[in-house]
Structure 1
């Protein structure tokens, strides 16, 4: 559970190996995640400081829970307040996926966003029982 293939991904480069200034050397600090296991489920806390609730989305598809966050720059607003000489605050999009199993539905997963932390509760569900081999008697 919770396969995370992104830990070794070079976020400062795009798919073709070209430098991506959006992430840069701070990529490893994005979406820091803590996962705690309990008897009846998991608690996932993801750091998303500076995001508004409506800039964050959760999707469940084919057993993968994907957390996405996007923060844009409003060019008009930027022009009203003057020209930036340097921008260090984050603007862009990021996402992270976790395998949570095929038995969960969106109604099973609960999420809350408070003080820059997205808290997700994921219940443990038993995997679908695999039917055991049953012999059929042959008459005659």
Structure 2
């Protein structure tokens, strides 16, 4: 019977040589079957899609960084106060050579989903989205109650 003891440093388990080799092999094997063997892990392949958010006086702007995608594969939905941005792409490739007696079928599916909670400062009826140069940009206008207001009050 063999017992493995993992030493903890600062509350985290230590990394063993076996774990490093296992992770290296599993990641390389997964990339090989995903046709990305020679590429590093892409955000779309790992499901970790970066989103940049900016606030201006009039609106919020969200940039979903997703190069190589098609705008037809995106879906943007609002339900109650949840904004969900999702992407789903399916592709079938079929090749055959009846004389040589071979058939090759490949199926590719890429997908991701991100959900954000909206507060009552967003005018959900005026949200719009556009996909250009690998970036899905959403514009979320603020409603009147969220916009800064200033005025001088006359003292009587």
- TM-score calculated relative to the size of structure 1: 0.57
Task: Identify which of 107, 124, 132 aligns with 2:142.
Answer: 124
Query: Would you tell me which structure has more helix in proportion to its own residues?
Result: 2
| Higher normalized contact order (CA 8 Å, seq sep 6+, divided by chain length) | 1
Task: Identify which of 49, 53, 61 aligns with 1:31.
Answer: 49
Task: Identify which of 3, 22, 45 aligns with 2:63.
Answer: 45
Larger Rg: 2
Counterpart position of 2:77: 59
Query: Would you tell me which structure has more strand in proportion to its own residues?
Result: 2
Distance in 2 (alpha carbons) for counterparts of 1:101 and 1:80: 54
- TM-score calculated relative to the size of structure 2: 0.52
Q: 1:63 touches 1:103 (CA, 8 Å); kept in 2?
A: no
| Matched positions, count | 101
SS at match of 1:44: strand
Counterpart position of 1:93: 111
Deviates more, 1:25-34 or 1:45-54: 25-34
Gaps of 5+ in 1: 1-20, 85-89, 128-140
Root mean square deviation, CA, Å:
3.3
Gaps of 5+ in 2: 1-29, 35-40, 98-102, 147-156
Distance in 2 (alpha carbons) for counterparts of 1:106 and 1:123: 8
Q: What is the CA-CA distance between 1:72 and the residue it aligns to?
A: 1.2
Counterpart position of 2:89: 71
